[in-house]
Amino acid sequence: MPAYVLFSFLVYAVINAFTPGPGNILALSTVTNYGYHRGRPLFIGVFAGYYVVQIICVLFVYGLSTLLPSSLAVIKYIGAAYILWLAFHVAISRPDQTPAEASASFTKGFALQFVNVKIYAFGITALTGYVTGITTSLNTLLAFGLVIATIGTLATSTWIGAGVLIRRIYQNHYRAINLVMAAGLLECAYSMLR
């Protein structure tokens, strides 16, 4: 894989994983409301669900590449449009002033990931935009899917570990942080289409 493609994949994955999404916000809310130890079952559920959903994304992309290889080009453009949409919404988003209450169970964290459209779009976009243009090998797709899930887990862990601190920093500097992340996403969309 060319270095610029790998770099763009990693930039996209890190930005997407670290931006506020259902899993990150639920983790932040849980740690601030219940503490780390009482929230741990939920966090483990979020992490496990992330890996399972990314394996589903890999199987979906592999199936498309095997059965309908021409559809991957269309999905790449849909993925680029999604990244542009995400960049716009990241740029204009404001911090949530009142995080939702959350019960801290494994099942709730795990189930959240199956309805978390962000990580499906994240996985499918990353795989079709950066990997399938080079290879459609199931092993390679699976390796990148696991990298996506690991980056997502690290991102959620960061939100957990920083807890209230990240929330305060983000609330005080959200505009600058959002603009930097949005610019990074614009570069990702550009590199996906060239």
Averaged pLDDT, 98-113: 71
Averaged pLDDT, 1-20: 89
- Residue 64 carries which side chain, given as an amino acid letter? L
According to DSSP, residue 90 is labeled: H
Residues 115 and 67: their CA atoms lie apart, in Å, by: 26
Share of the chain above pLDDT 90, in %: 34
What is the reported pTM?
0.73
Is residue 147's pLDDT more than 80? Answer: yes
Q: Per-domain residue ranges for the chain?
A: 3-8+20-193
Q: How confident is the model at residue 100 (pLDDT cuts 50, 70, 90)?
A: very low
Instruction: Look at residues 54, 44, 46, 56 and name the one whose alpha carbon lies nearest to residue 26.
Output: 46
Instruction: Look at residues 109, 98, 108, 91 and name the one whose alpha carbon lies nearest to residue 183.
Output: 91
